[in-house]
A and B are shown apart, each in its own frame.
Chain A
């Protein structure tokens, strides 16, 4: 049986009875079984649970209009799933089985989606290559010697390899968009507050947001409509109506009346020539589709990376204090309570997580708080103001998602600053709480994907999706597929 690669195609097939949810689910499981020994995109495959759920959908005849009926979805392993191991790819949560679901998981299941398993990521989402997983790196489906990006690298690789049509990731500084770009799929970080983070293992609470990875903007819009909305379990979730994102898409891809800002001053150095050429070509496409291209300045964006790494590590050092060997996860042997804490955390956390806890604790400590943490929060304000000013004259801002295509495994692991620079174009949206999407916009000569990012005003997720959809309809890059 021919199973569509997109979520909407699967949903329509299952809803109309042309496809059985069980066949769709089996096909996804077969593909995972065939490819994952080499890709390592999955931490856990919940085959029995998924097949039971599919059988339930096939036998129950009600609810034919559910938005994701019978659609297999993979979840980043930092999202709590009742009854399915959840480790955030950390040794310290080895074997942890949560007693509750993240809100997004409940919402997906209520919409008819089938949870197929949990995907590999950088430990506690800290990284840009998925090499910081305690369970081995994920490989890029386009080139097995390259990283898929990170931290949601398993989710991006699973969608790129067509194991699943949809996956969820989390994005604190680019962790959905950058791997989406490096794997040639669509990745969307909704506005801060748009999606409940209840049940997301917290990394940096003022920046974290959950969002989808998909093979098209349209699919990303559909799943965002499902997971978005107010939740009393997350005090930062916005109590505002959720538009029907799919209905907001332009239909014919026309971009007349859309003003796209381009901060060219940020591209002077460090951007790979092929990435730059693909970006310029993409901007030309939007112009041909009717968009007006406007130069904008984001004056403080060059400082965004240090601001981000000070704020994110400070928040992480507080959030990760809960992993102490008492209530869940791994505990190291020790004869006193204090030694047990120290040893559990020393042995349970990996190197990047420890590095960030040290940095975060340092910038919050007496004597350094004002110089680093408070200063970073002030520059964060200036970065927000830059975006506000730019959005006075444009509807979205376009940038390359990542300054380079997928880099080689091991290439940046020894140099933290080099790795952090992978996020130079993505952290701004998190610092300012804005919606941002990465959509495929080209391939390098060696066939590595390149991503185009659109960022919009806070809570104008629909505008970002509409512009990305317009661009996507004008090109064929989203339809390119990796070998195998």
Chain B
């Protein structure tokens, strides 16, 4: 880190990239213009490889639609796009032995809106790119949910045919999971973690930029599957084989979309791990790290270990389709349950990938707005680690009725129920942090407190699902739909909102509108509970999930749920209006509007391009509210003041 700072002092920082050259040379300059010809070029190369291979092997027809789509459109063209916008330029020069361009940091920071639309190595710009992109996919995913609810408002078929309906909820879930919750947390952490550590950036800024640019590729892939013949992928976000092997072409858009999003997650996670381990400011021991950093540390470990499994599962499904292998095809000796084991070995830890960063945000917000130290800081960090370890030993609780070895159920039930203990510790510690505090119910605190209450309900319904006999009754019913929305919406999304409101002043340099923020919270809170709580009831009553039509006995509740969900959807408009207007015209934010102690609040809003003018010296814990004279870190100004005092 010191070298990076020294380097930046040695070379004066350019105010953004130099202007592009004129004439035809402009086509070689990294950016969308270059991507406009490299993408089709790579598409063509992909087509060429397919045709050549098929000609060489004597396979007719040489031009085979689904293989062309897979190789040329879903693999080669995205690589061409990345090469065009310049994601590989530095590495490419390095790899071919050409003299590398000295790093002048001109690709760092944002000086105009254009700097958000190029490969940018500034973690703060990348954080914003992540957040805006993920919110766009959140809106698309939300609209798909509205369509699902419109169809379900009445029994019978209203608007869509079955295949389209199955596509709607499959793409809804996939976007929300892979393009919203996971990367939105990565985006928040991208902005905040280096600041919290006292670092000038992430450890690998170019890798960081690449991880961002993989995301729009994955998202566009998943959304565009609606346009291909046969419609969008329609076997749920779980894509169980053998069904998914025999679905129309859209399925490979899911198989490949997951690869791009997964690669993005893994790269970001590696980046976080190296950053957190090696780039902490002097004095920042592990036991002095803010809990958000702890949360992202454990999440990154989960991502790095687990994500390759879902990548494998989707490759196998794709191989069964295009290469006629038989990983999951009984006819060729395959094993359908193998898919579920591999899939859930990722997708259960993924539940924690989607929750632990939220725990971190909740800890920051609750401590700051209660004006009290986090209760049981070390136990809070250790319970994150406990969840990490236990999280890998519970995957088969998604498979209690799957037909797997029956003996596996009781051990998996025990580990599943054990996770309630570290999770309970976290909930009780948040409540104890609020106890006797001086609580300020600003918007971030409302979301954090709302999160704790909703997560308790989601956690308790998780106990029902963990107990095997009850799970046998409610598995694959609306009870499960209710549960996952209580943990992913009431849990993850509430904390994402808490984080966005909390760091909005830091990110934009402006304050959001507090009244609109509170309105957004209450509308969402009411709409959320009205939508999802009744789903528990119709689930235990007997309504299965993933159906476009249902028995008439559930008609009243479904109409109620659909109306509530439209109300819930509309509440998002308040959020969008608040964000857009406040970003342009909000009141100027001071450096530390919440009087917080962590490092990101000790610099200006928005922070300087390299975060800290001088490396901060960490001298204490991050949550010492109420301790007279306690400091988390000493910065430039303070240090001078202290020197003056000494003399």
Tell me whether A and B are bound partners: no
The chain B residues found within 8 Å of chain A, CB to CB, are: none
